[in-house]
Amino acid sequence: MSVQAALVAATRRLVAAEIPNAAGDARALMAEALGIARDRLTLEASRALTPTEENRFEGFIDRRLMREPVSHLLGRREFYGREFAVNADVLDPRPETEVLIEAALQEHAGKILDLGTGSGCILLTLLAETPGAIGVGTDVSAAACDVARANAVALGLGKRATILCTDWASGVEGPFDLIVSNPPYIALSEMAGLAPEVRDWEPYGALTDGADGLMAYRAIAEAAPPLLRAGGRLMVEIGPTQGALVSELFRFVGFEEIRVIQDLDGRDRVVSARMPA
């Protein structure tokens, strides 16, 4: 079977199963099966697949039909222009989180703490974009910490990023110029409405607190003030209905200059707050 014929057949199977972005997924998985860049597929379209390539591609498609995310099949996901290793132990980096990155980069922070670092994509992106900065990423999941450490090494940031396996900020010593987090903010009642790729394959504890979606923000509001220098900044990603509630939590513990930042779709996405000078 030729590369093109296999792509057509696989795309039809994915479409029939109502898989989003069927054609794009098929091309990404074919390129991975062939071990080539996606933009070279056209050059390979007419050649016959080897038995090994065909089996590998069909295996990918079978797994995608089970709604396993493409990022898990590839083992990586692009975020802010860099590739990060991902698997079922960490949350997939998402384009919306780049709103947090853009806001955080305006602080020009020299020392950064990332609570619930997961793959490390937030901390490591900020370090890569801020020469000379150092940072700490924490996660309660040892498996997630392993992924973050591997990403730090792969990006040449192993000496500037420290990954600690701990619950939020337990055992962390400050002060920091900036604290960031993309915590689990999906309420338990909302979980059933998530896409299967998210609900069934991404780590449960990185998606939801099993309650109202605000427990992590309560923990962060308590932990952050002693770890921030005077005038330091706290920035967290939020769900689109949580801006006012998270702002009030931060106001209650003494933060100032609290503002809600929207994403490109006009939805509340980040809450930013300043530690009093």
Question: What tens digit of pLDDT does each residue of 176-219 get?
Answer: 999 999 999 999 999 999 999 999 999 999 999 999 999 999 99
Q: Is the pLDDT of residue 277 over 90?
A: no
Yes or no: domain 76-274 corresponds to CATH 3.40.50.150? yes
Taking Cα atoms as reference points, which of 60, 63, 26, 18 lies closest to residue 45? 26
Q: For residue 92, what are the contacts with CB-CB under 8 A and spacing of at least 6?
A: 69, 71, 77, 86, 198, 202
What per-residue string of b and e applies to 200-212 under the rule 16 or more CB within 10 Å gives b? Answer: ebbbeebbbbeee
Segments making up each domain of the chain, as ranges:
3-66, 76-274
Q: Does pTM surpass 0.75? A: yes
Q: For residue 185, what are the contacts with CB-CB under 8 A and spacing of at least 6?
A: 208, 209, 213, 214, 216, 217, 237, 238, 239, 242
pLDDT in tens, 107-157: 999 999 999 999 999 999 999 999 999 999 999 999 999 999 999 999 999
Computed over its alpha carbons, how large is the radius of gyration of the chain? 21
DSSP code of residue 152: H
Q: Cis before residue 175, ω within 30 degrees of 0?
A: yes
Topology (CATH level 3) of domain 3-66: Helicase, Ruva Protein; domain 3 (1.10.8)
